[in-house]
Structure 1
Amino acid sequence: MLSSTAEDGEIEPCVPIVLHRRSYESIEDIGVNELVEWRPDSSMLVVATSGGHLLLYNLGVQTDQKGLYEQVDSPHANLRRDSAELFIKEVIPSLHLSLEKEVGVEGGITSMVCIRDELMLATTRGHILRYRWDGSENRDYCLDLRRVPFCIDQQVSKAIPIVEANTYVVDIEYSPLVGGFAIVLNDGRAAFLTASSLRFDPNQVQGIWAQNIEDATCASVNHKYRLIAFGRKNSQGVVYCIDESTGGLEVSHHIVLSSKDYPGSPGLVLGIRWTPDGCAMAIAWANGGLSLWSTFGALLMCTLGWDYGLHVDLNNFNPLHVYSMEWSAEGYQLWMVRRQPDHDPGGESGSTIDTVVQLDFVKSALTVNPCEDRLFVNLGDNLMKVYHERPRDQLSTRFNSEDVFRDISNLSVTNTLVGSKQWIVVPIPSAYSGTNWPIRYTAIDSDGQNIAVAGRTGLAHYSLLTRKWKLFGNETQEKDFVVTGGLLWWRDYVVMGCYSIVENKDEIRIYPRDSRLDNAFMKVTRVPTQVLLLNMLRDRLITFCANGQVSVYSLSLQENHSQPWFRMAPYKLLDNKLLDKL
């Protein structure tokens, strides 16, 4: 989003699709674009302007067009593309973006967040307003900070509302899993707004102060680990967790750059963004620079130590001055708006230029498949791995002596993989990644010889011995299911928790490694709800589903050793109260 335009584009491949440019009269009347928020179903987006107006846009697909960027080969034989990798497999939809409604808001809009099917707007008048996506205001659920009681925890009998004049919210973040809003006030204080129900009735909302912080600048919420991070003016960050017994905010850890990483001060924290999986956090500073931290405070990357050449003075200007940032799907890319001074001789003095920068990242399969105990890193269309031997006590009791000696012989392969100074890079075939990006799940077998991957739909697996991929021969079967609950290997079979689009049911599927990828060779078992996690212990498959049920399946081979079969052993049903205590 630029100051006068709203634009949508495709992430993979990275191409623009549609653009809406506002008129000069509109910019003069209601101000430039400042904030943008998607509707949860992606059918609309809203833009907040500097003049306190909301611009509601409708986004739809033009059904009269097949797609954009259709690739047509040249009639000349020497200019034709012989490789399938040179073709875009994904159909890029033709979209239309139209202005639906313009709504004026009392007071300037400082921050905006989506809650279910409504918008929460923080204004300079100390209000948090709720708007529906049709542009109407839900007045019964609007908040006035002066009427919200604040205290240090929920056990304190006396709560005091904000009495200081001209106090308002400058940043607000919502998480239904944490159960409230993280807010930052213009005077530097930070708090957490919660209520007894997720409807957030104004009469039930209570504020919990984040103690020992008076210079907060921004906030971000980690849904997975239920953490709240605040940026500070002293270039540091502090991460809080919620005390389940008192309801107060407790300091989990601090985000501090050591003098070894950067001896100076990069300025106040301008923005914090957690990855979609909650396993890393990006921080940008006002004086320039970007850093990446693990969930619990380990520094993973910092651009303040990068070498930008001899003609760059980092003390006066950092080339990577990030003004805004957001993670893409699955957290493989960080999209940033970089602000630079305009060196055009014909430009105005002090003017700046905003450019969009994309930074690619790799991540471990442990982020989405925590039961995978061998390090396995993936990046976009390539896979990289290092293999570690499975402990002896996790090997199946059904292994015979030949299996044991076979496992010992593989130690030389393991040592080679672990001790090598070079990564093993396995390109994913474009026939799969072209239509199923991004890759969401990866798994490697106990021998370190077979890799399985699952993207948007379907799956594929690769053999390090033959150096060949196996894909679905029937593309319809590949598009008919989505891996949602993990991916792992059991002997010569790949096991997954998935959702069948055709049957509209959740399943556990097993495909043999040595047969072609086809539903004719699969073994399937229906489960009542979505599979969230899978794990293997010897010849037993353990599943955890969305209904809180843990199930154990016994896996064994039939006499002909051609198909696996399941036997379910009842285990335990965990209710929500027990889950909260875990």
Structure 2
Amino acid sequence: MYWPVGAPEVYALSKHADIPPTPTDDGVGGLDSDKQALQNGPPVSVQSNPTAPASVKNGNIADDSSGSGDLDGHGSEKEILAMKVSKGGSIFATITTACLTVWQTKPTVVLAAIVRSSKSLKAYGSSKALLMRPDGHIIVVQTDLGFLITYTLATDPQAVVYQTKFPPSAKHNRRDSVDGHTSYKRPAGTSSSLGPCEQGGIREVNLRFRMVIRIDAGISKALALDNELVVATQKPAAIQCIRWVAENGSPQTSTELLSKMSWLKCKPPIIEMVHDRPMNLSCWISKEGKAYAVQRNSHKVDNEDNRELFHGFCFRESEAEGSAAIKLAINARFSLIAVGCANGIIEVYVVKDYTGNIPLSHTLQLSPSTSGHGKLSVLSYSPDGYCLFAGYENGWAMWSVYGKMGASSFTADLELCEENNDRFLTSVRDAFWIGGGCELAVLSNNDDRLWLLDIARNAALSCMLPSNMFQGLVQSSKSVMLYRGHDVPDLTSLPGDSPLWQTIQLPSTYLARHWPIKSVAVSVDGKYLAIAGRRGFAHFSVTSGRWKTFDDQDVESAFAIRGGMCWHQHFLITAVETEGRHQLRIFSREKALERILSSEDIDAPAILTTTSGGDSLLVYTYDNILLHYIIAPLGSSIKLVQVGQIGFHGVIRAPLRVRAISWILPDDQLEHGDPSQDVATASVIFLVDGKLVLLQPSMNEHGELKYDMRVIAQNVEYYLLIRDQGGAVAALNSSDACHGQMNETAVLDPLGHSLRDSLWYYDGDAYHVWSDVQDVLVTAPAELGRDLPPTVRVPIDFAPITTMIAKGVVHGLDPELVQRRDLNFSFFKLVSRTQLFLPKLLRYHLAEYNSPTALHLASAYQHLPYFPHALEILLHDVLDSEVDKPPSPPETALLPTVISFLSSFATYLDIIVNCTRKTELRSWRTLFSYLPPVRQLFEESLASKKLKTAAGYLLVLHTFEQDQFQVLEFARLLRHAAAEKDWELCAELARFLVGIDSSGRTLSSALAEAGLQDALEDTEQSQAGDIDYFSTFQRG
């Protein structure tokens, strides 16, 4: 999941440019001479020969205080109308009505600007929209008179205009540990004062006019691709393709009328187009609101009349009022298409093939309390596909890939937003992701500023290691947050604002050279942390609080992490690419990073590198092979020994779409088998796109190993195989349980914990749990024709980060927007959330009439201080469901089974009373119809000296037997409370008796019956309405 954190950075063009921009006429000087050709030419006319090209290099530096944002509602020359980012994310461009500006992403500065002259504005019209070729070398400005003005962007990688220098005094000695520089090694060549990517300085670029393209048929929508410019025209409705560079023997432009496309269900103009290169798929929206999946035909037909440029199909109709499609976004990582509707609802479709099989996957909708969101303006998936950002006319919202609602600006106080000029919360015109998803650029309506939001995300999603899943790790642009709640014995005893997350600032010297951070890995015990950016890596010791970086920048820049990294004890195992070769390298936290302990060449680049069990390493490569290594000790070091490999050719079609991998070995093989035979016995679990796939080994008729594949879950964001998480299951033996101690790094004996072999997956709404993955393995083979065992659904109302099996708790985060009147800005912070998963698992086992399994599971958690609360939640949930929907027939009721189960625990009587205190009166009859008489429960509570519990049963008894009320039970309880000197309980009972009899006679009778004569005498000396019962009982 993704969350904005902190306050956004704000950028605007400086009011005082260092170099005044020179207006350009955009070739308008040659307009008269070419006028006849333009009028009589084809629908697409190209005008070149610029007369006054101009470029402004580095004229304006971005400054977060220069823009005012004070634009009227009708726009302004300063108002930013559109922005586009290059595919690599290194540059982006913005336009106003007359100015085109090119920015560098990091550091965020203006590289060049070009201002259109009054001649150009009069001849071609004001700027309206912006296009950029994916590589960023050609930028196109669309005008409101139907012209496309193209510019070229030339860069020199070796030319640097600005190089920031800081005096030595700018570095403070106390920051050495953060920057990776100590007195024991030579100073780094990068200043610690530099920000992300500032080591490379500010590049030199030249922005020059290229040509003007006139679209006589009117522009409905335009799209810039790698090789061509695709334009949807209005009259006639057609699609025109204009190649950036003309090929010999073929025209530069080609046109196909919509009326000639037999697969189109309607012929109105196309109003929206998006294209995704990895999927080789385009999506169009027609004026009627229908959505189409489209591909470009690769074959060439010489006959112009029979040529078909595109083929496609309609995958979404527009039937209901307000449901017309208006915005699109393609998620190649999960094969999804998001369709934004006019009513603000977002429908997400899954692309199963390219022949028309694109069914609806799920629907995203703002909460009913959110009204007045306005028209949907932008849809954008994060680079890894895990987050969808939706910008509306009056705010924005974020969802996880399969529908978990995240941050939203619709909770903002509009009055404070207006007062603080926080327009990024109240409107969105456009937005895009930068830094691999660690920042989000937002453009508001009627604004001359850009807002850059720092984004925090679950680090496990980009590096699905078992240790990352267990420990809880969140990364942002400049820091990492590590969850420290595993060391807390009782999470319920902590104050709500207790810091359970440790924020670790990333080394500025490393960020200056290799931002953004692409992957983060934490060790199983949470002691070590490693980060990897564009080149090299750095690692951190949680104990010492120090980073370790490379002393030699050349060595650091000589390789890049490709395929992940993982920890084994204090050794870091990395998959690297260096000089065209691919290797597995081992580094030690205790040694200099320049020293490689061991290296192994691999034939293909690694996609995933992960540990399994105690000493196994799995490496999945681009050539669809899973390599199995044993991590063997070698003196004070370790080495990798390959013992097997598995080829998945014909099984996994697209290796790059695999997100995570695990395998399950039979217990006999795991404990006594030869490691070289692991590949022949292991069942392999893959996460491919959003599908959880199980591969099971078997032998064919020729005695050859083959794998049977079955998809066991859909819409999976991530999964947890508990047996792979060495720290996930605590050793809850009897001696530790007595003292409430837990060893989070040990794994139980197979009979010690019923969740040791559990498999969990998260679908954006809830965890789904198989308590024993062996049940899945038994039923999975397709030839058996058996259904998979059902999962236990554990709904989560926040984004889960870590599942603490030993504590029965899911921990996660929620974003919170902070707006205060003593601050002139708004900011986001992350709030910790926890939820017990134990009640849902127990309920499932009891519903299956499997009380022994439920008791076995519960026995592992009895030592926890909040275990009675978990049982109370179980009872409360079952009671509410059966009161709201009585079971039919009554014999199928689950409540009797739950009550019988609860009676096995010493806190049984307390659980029943606590449940009654938190339920409505109408539920009491249902609950106590399956219980012994209330008077008997009262007697049991008194016998157990649970006086407050007995008081609760007295309340129930009075409710049920108001007509037969007797004071004897109250007197007995008063006598026991006075004997135990529980004066608070005595006072509560006295207040209750006065409440039902304001005359005080009932209280007097109870006190007399209890033998509290002193208290009775004090009572008689005062008026009933003035009695301080608490003081009275204290004196007694």
Give the shorter-chain TM-score range.
0.7 to 0.9
Q: Which residue of 1 aligns with 2:583?
A: 507
Q: Which residue of 2 aligns with 1:56?
A: 150
Q: What is the Cα deviation at residue 168 of structure 1?
A: 1.2
Q: Which residue of 2 aligns with 1:301?
A: 407
Unaligned runs of 5+ residues in structure 1 are 151-160, 341-352, 390-409
Counterparts of 1:349-428 in structure 2, within 5 Å, are 353-371=447-465, 372-374=468-470, 375-386=472-483, 421-428=499-506
For the aligned residue pairs, the C-alpha RMSD in angstroms reads 3.3
Q: Which residue of 1 aligns with 2:374?
A: 267
C-alpha contact (below 8 Å) 2:600/2:640 kept by paired residues? no
Aligned counterparts of 1:45 and 1:26: Cα–Cα separation in 2? 17
Counterparts of 1:166-565 in structure 2, within 5 Å, are 167-194=268-295, 202=308, 205-211=311-317, 214-244=323-353, 247-260=356-369, 262=370, 264-286=371-393, 288-309=394-415, 312=418, 320-340=426-446, 353-371=447-465, 372-374=468-470, 375-386=472-483, 421-500=499-578, 503-518=579-594, 520-538=595-613, 539-558=615-634, 560-565=635-640
Describe the SS at the equivalent of 2:524: coil
Q: Greater helix share, 1 or 2?
A: 2
Q: What is the Cα deviation at residue 225 of structure 1?
A: 0.4
1:370-391, CA deviations, whole angstroms, 9 ceiling, x for partnerless residues? 23423211111111122687xx
Q: What is the Cα deviation at residue 511 of structure 1?
A: 1.3
Describe the SS at the equivalent of 2:429: strand
1:212–1:49 distance in 2 versus 1, CA, 3 Å: closer
Q: Residue type matched to 1:525 in 2?
A: E
Larger-Rg structure: 2
Which range moves more in the overlay, 181-190 or 436-445? 181-190
Counterparts of 1:84-99 in structure 2, within 5 Å, are 84-87=191-194, 88-99=198-209
Aligned counterparts of 2:387 and 2:518: Cα–Cα separation in 1? 16
C-alpha contact (below 8 Å) 1:145/1:162 kept by paired residues? no
Q: What is the Cα deviation at residue 477 of structure 1?
A: 0.9
Q: What is the Cα deviation at residue 23 of structure 1?
A: 1.6
Aligned counterparts of 2:290 and 2:426: Cα–Cα separation in 1? 28
1:319–1:245 distance in 2 versus 1, CA, 3 Å: closer
1:461–1:239 distance in 2 versus 1, CA, 3 Å: same
C-alpha contact (below 8 Å) 2:550/2:556 kept by paired residues? yes
Q: Which residue of 2 aligns with 1:82?
A: 171
Aligned counterparts of 2:490 and 2:571: Cα–Cα separation in 1? 21
Residue 121 of structure 2 corresponds to residue 27 of structure 1: yes
1:64–1:226 distance in 2 versus 1, CA, 3 Å: closer
Which range moves more in the overlay, 38-47 or 482-491? 38-47
242, 262, 269: which one pairs with 1:149? 262
Which range moves more in the overlay, 188-197 or 220-229? 188-197
Q: Which residue of 1 aligns with 2:161?
A: 67
Q: Residue type matched to 2:365 in 1?
A: V
Q: What is the Cα deviation at residue 361 of structure 1?
A: 1.1
TM norm structure 1: 0.82
Q: Which residue of 2 aligns with 1:2?
A: 95
Q: Which residue of 1 aligns with 2:241?
A: 130
Q: Residue type matched to 2:112 in 1?
A: V
Q: What is the Cα deviation at residue 308 of structure 1?
A: 4.0
Count residues with an aligned counterpart: 524
Residue 644 of structure 2 corresponds to residue 569 of structure 1: yes
1:206–1:449 distance in 2 versus 1, CA, 3 Å: same
135, 140, 143: which one pairs with 1:41? 135
Which range moves more in the overlay, 291-300 or 10-19? 10-19
Aligned counterparts of 1:570 and 1:199: Cα–Cα separation in 2? 44
Aligned counterparts of 2:492 and 2:539: Cα–Cα separation in 1? 23
Q: Residue type matched to 1:516 in 2?
A: A
Q: What is the Cα deviation at residue 40 of structure 1?
A: 3.3
Q: Residue type matched to 1:231 in 2?
A: G
Aligned counterparts of 1:231 and 1:471: Cα–Cα separation in 2? 45
Q: Residue type matched to 1:381 in 2?
A: K
Q: Which residue of 2 aligns with 1:345?
A: none
1:41–1:527 distance in 2 versus 1, CA, 3 Å: farther
Which range moves more in the overlay, 505-514 or 442-451? 505-514
1:313–1:182 distance in 2 versus 1, CA, 3 Å: farther
1:163–1:281 distance in 2 versus 1, CA, 3 Å: closer
Aligned counterparts of 1:485 and 1:356: Cα–Cα separation in 2? 34
C-alpha contact (below 8 Å) 1:61/1:96 kept by paired residues? yes
1:428–1:311 distance in 2 versus 1, CA, 3 Å: closer
C-alpha contact (below 8 Å) 1:141/1:202 kept by paired residues? no
C-alpha contact (below 8 Å) 2:424/2:451 kept by paired residues? no
Q: What is the Cα deviation at residue 217 of structure 1?
A: 0.9
Q: Which residue of 2 aligns with 1:396?
A: none
C-alpha contact (below 8 Å) 1:178/1:223 kept by paired residues? yes
TM norm structure 2: 0.47
Q: What is the Cα deviation at residue 369 of structure 1?
A: 1.2
Q: Greater strand share, 1 or 2?
A: 1
C-alpha contact (below 8 Å) 2:265/2:314 kept by paired residues? no
Q: Which residue of 2 aligns with 1:343?
A: none
Aligned counterparts of 1:311 and 1:93: Cα–Cα separation in 2? 36
1:28-49, CA deviations, whole angstroms, 9 ceiling, x for partnerless residues? 2222333333333333333333
Aligned counterparts of 1:416 and 1:570: Cα–Cα separation in 2? 49
Q: Residue type matched to 1:7 in 2?
A: T
Describe the SS at the equivalent of 2:513: helix
Describe the SS at the equivalent of 1:26: helix
Q: Residue type matched to 1:190 in 2?
A: A
Which range moves more in the overlay, 114-123 or 528-537? 114-123
If asked which structure has higher relative contact order (CA below 8 Å, sep 6+), I would say 2
Q: Residue type matched to 2:434 in 1?
A: S
1:198–1:238 distance in 2 versus 1, CA, 3 Å: farther
Aligned counterparts of 2:626 and 2:299: Cα–Cα separation in 1? 28
C-alpha contact (below 8 Å) 1:233/1:267 kept by paired residues? no
Q: Which residue of 2 aligns with 1:155?
A: none
Q: Residue type matched to 1:15 in 2?
A: V
Q: What is the Cα deviation at residue 106 of structure 1?
A: 3.7
Q: What is the Cα deviation at residue 277 of structure 1?
A: 0.9
Describe the SS at the equivalent of 1:456: coil
Aligned counterparts of 1:530 and 1:53: Cα–Cα separation in 2? 46
Q: Which residue of 1 aligns with 2:943?
A: none
Q: What is the Cα deviation at residue 113 of structure 1?
A: 3.1
1:184-207, CA deviations, whole angstroms, 9 ceiling, x for partnerless residues? 112222121136769998366122
Aligned counterparts of 2:521 and 2:255: Cα–Cα separation in 1? 47
Q: Which residue of 1 aligns with 2:726?
A: none
Aligned counterparts of 1:120 and 1:467: Cα–Cα separation in 2? 54
1:33–1:554 distance in 2 versus 1, CA, 3 Å: farther
C-alpha contact (below 8 Å) 2:166/2:193 kept by paired residues? no
